[in-house]
Amino acid sequence: MKAEIVRIGNSRGIRIPKKVIEHCGFHGAVDMDVRDGELVIRATSHARKGWDEAFRRMHQRGDDVLHDLDAATTEWDKSEWQW
């Protein structure tokens, strides 16, 4: 597929057909990289996507318990902190 570079204000851009955008799952922002002289555009990844579900499963299995509570508790915690 070929595309023309067009003027957009003081910048330049490439028009991407709607079908291509839909096929790639682009919406909102995208990630762009230049690799070996090629422009790579991909849908942004969500760094914390799925964390809610993972934490829910951890809680159900009891994997969200702090096992070394004594090491995590300092003298300040015991004497100064009010719960």
- Which pLDDT score, from 0 to 100, does residue 1 have? 85
- Which pLDDT score, from 0 to 100, does residue 63 have? 87
Please, what are the domains in the chain?
1-64 (2.10.260.10)
φ, ψ for residue 68, nearest 5 deg: -115, 60
Structure confidence by residue, pLDDT tens digits, 20-58: 999 998 988 899 999 999 999 998 877 788 899 999 999
pTM for the predicted model, two decimal places: 0.49
